[in-house]
Amino acid sequence: MMDLGKYAAEVISAWGISLALLGGLVWWTIARDRKVRAELERTERDHG
């Protein structure tokens, strides 16, 4: 692990939070897309 000096806490928390937010956004987007796709398939089968 590299040495971040006296700002280690700040840098790591900033990166951690940001990457978590980005990851969350991507994950949420993809998950919702999957759900809606599956739902659409079901609906098309039922009411097609």
Partner 1 sequence: MSIWSYANPRKFLETTAPWVPWLMWLSAAVLAVGLVWGFFFTPEAERFGSSVKIIYLHVPSALMAINAWLMMLVASLIWLVRRHHVSALAARAAAPIGMVMTLIALVTGAIWGQPMWGTWWAWDPRLTSFLILFLFYLGYIALWAAIPDPDSAADLTSVLCLVGSVFAILSRYAVNFWNQGLHQGASLSLDSQENVADVFWLPLLVCMAGFVLLFVSLVLLRTGTEIRARRIAAMRARARRAEPVRA
Interface residue list for partner 1 (CB under 8 A): 2-8, 10-11, 13-15, 17-19, 21-22, 24-26, 29-30, 32-33, 36-37, 39-40, 43-44, 46-48
Cα separation, 7 vs 43, in Å, equals 53
Minimum gap (Å) between residue 36 Cβ and partner 1: 5
Cα separation, 29 vs 47, in Å, equals 26
Minimum gap (Å) between residue 19 Cβ and partner 1: 8
Minimum gap (Å) between residue 5 Cβ and partner 1: 5
Cα separation, 22 vs 13, in Å, equals 14
